[in-house]
Amino acid sequence: MNRILIVGSSGSGKSTLAQQLGRIWSLPVIHLDAYYWRPNWVAPQKAEWDQTITQLTMQEQWVIDGNYARTMEKRIERADLIILLDMPRWLCMVRIFKRRIMFHKKTRPDMNEGCQEKIDWAFIKWVWNYPKRSRLSTLSKLETAAAQGKQVIIVNTRKQVKELLHDQIQYCLHTQK
């Protein structure tokens, strides 16, 4: 396993799963938010972002977490395994509030320096509306990827995340013998 892509709503657990899979497979972890956001939450120009995505995905090994729908196909194209964390809306909401409290006046480890954790009404609506705004489009992209022979895993519960990690550990141990 060389390249793993993790997508899903904010608060679904992408960054945490990326760290865990990076440790299991000894792969470098790339949190897209850390590359996208500049200090004080300034977004890059589209051309600059496209170039960053190309550079990141051309690496031979990675675990990448993040959505950024406009460039998702580039990441899907290079990924060996794609995981959608299709978690319940309520869980994502709880997690974004929890991390806001945990990282009050701090920058999360998966973010760029100068982007202190924040939560505002626009972000709450963004997370709440993920199922109707982005979910179907993401599922369609993953269905296409699966039809092209890509390995796609859709996870819907915390229990399934634990099972996925257990399975990855077992598979990794088996392939390294």
CB 156 within 8 A of CB 89: no
The confidence score (pLDDT) of residue 58 equals 96
pLDDT tens per residue across span 55-85: 999 999 999 999 899 999 999 999 999 999 9
pLDDT tens per residue across span 93-131: 999 888 888 777 777 778 778 778 888 899 899 999 999
The string of DSSP codes covering 14-30 is: HHHHHHHHHHHHT--EE
Regarding pTM above 0.75, the answer is yes
Whether the predicted pLDDT of 11 surpasses 80: yes
Q: How many CA atoms lie within 13 A of 145 on its CB side?
A: 25
Sign of the CA dihedral with 92 first, then 93, 98, and 101 last: positive
Q: What is the dihedral of CA 139, 142, 143, 144, to 10 degrees?
A: 130
Domains of the chain: 3-175 (3.40.50.300)
At a CB cut-off of 8 Å and minimum separation 6, what does 98 contact? Answer: none
Q: What average pLDDT does range 6-28 have in this prediction? A: 95
The confidence score (pLDDT) of residue 3 equals 97
Whether the predicted pLDDT of 150 surpasses 90: yes
